[in-house]
Amino acid sequence: CFKAANPPVLISASPKKINFSKRFLFRVSAVSYKDFAESALEETRKRIVLEPSPLQERYSSITGLDGKTELQLLAFRSPKIRLLRSMAIENETMQVFDFAGFMEPEYDAPIFCANFFTSANTNIVVLDLNPLHQLTDQTDYQEKYYNKIMSIYHKYAETFPWGGKLTGESIKFFSPLVMWTRFSSSQEKHEALFSAFLEYYQAWLEMTIQVGDEMEPSQVRANCEAQHKYLTWRAQKDPGHGLLKRLVGEAKAKELLRDFLFNGVDELGTKTFIDYFPEYETEDGTVSDKRSIVGKSYETRPWDSTGNFIG
Ligand code: BLA
Ligand 1 lining (C-beta closer than 6 Å) = 96, 98, 113, 115, 117, 124, 126, 166-167, 170, 173, 234, 239-240, 243-244
Residues 206, 225: Cα–Cα separation, whole Å: 24
CA 291 to ligand 1 centroid distance, Å: 11
**Percentage of residues in the chain having pLDDT higher than 70:** 89
Output the pTM of the full model: 0.91
Q: What's the 25 CA to ligand 1 centre distance in angstroms? A: 33
Q: How far apart are CA 284 and CA 185, in angstroms?
A: 44
- Nearby residues of 246 by Cβ (< 8 Å), 6 or more positions away: 65
Q: Which atom of ligand 1 is nearest to the CA of 247?
A: 31
Ligand 1 mean position, distance from CA 232 (Å): 16
User: What per-residue confidence (pLDDT) applies to 137?
Assistant: 59
Stated length of the chain: 311
Q: Ligand 1 mean position to 117 CA, how many Å?
A: 8
Most ligand 1 atoms within 8 A of CB, residue of 62, 70, 93, 117 to mutate: 117
- Nearest residue (by CA) to ligand 1, atom 43, is 239
ipTM surpasses cut 0.90: yes
Atom of ligand 1 nearest to the CA of 97: 28
The residues near 111 (Cβ < 8 Å, ≥ 6 apart) are 100, 101, 102, 103, 129, 130, 131, 132, 227, 230
**Strand (E) positions, 66-200?**
70-77, 81-90, 95-103, 111-118, 122-130, 166-167, 179-184
Query: Whose alpha carbon is nearest atom 39 of ligand 1?
Result: 239
Q: What region does 298 belong to: left with phi over 0, alpha with psi -120 to 50, or beta?
A: left
User: For residue 165, which atom of ligand 1 is closest to its CA?
Assistant: 11
Sign of the CA dihedral with 295 first, then 300, 304, and 307 last = positive
Q: What pLDDT was estimated at residue 104? A: 97
Residue in 70, 119, 124 to alter for ligand 1 test, most ligand atoms within 8 A of Cβ: 124
Question: Using an 8 Å Cβ cutoff, are 131 and 113 in contact?
Answer: no
Distance 170 CA to ligand 1 centre (A): 10
**Coil/strand/helix, residue 287:** strand
The Å distance, Cα 167 to ligand 1 centre, comes to 9
Pocket probe mutation, ligand 1, options 69, 97, 112, 166, max atoms within 8 Å of Cβ: 166
- What pLDDT was estimated at residue 173? 97
pLDDT at position 311 is 87
For 132, 142, 147, 179, 237, the CA distances from 223, given in Å and listed in that order, are 7, 15, 21, 24, 21
Closest ligand 1 atom to 169 CA: 20
List, for the chain, all residue ranges whose pLDDT scores fall below the cut of 70.
1-29, 137-138
> Taking all residues of the chain, what is their mean pLDDT, rounded to a whole number?
90
Q: DSSP secondary-structure letter at 280?
A: G
Q: What is the pLDDT of residue 2?
A: 36
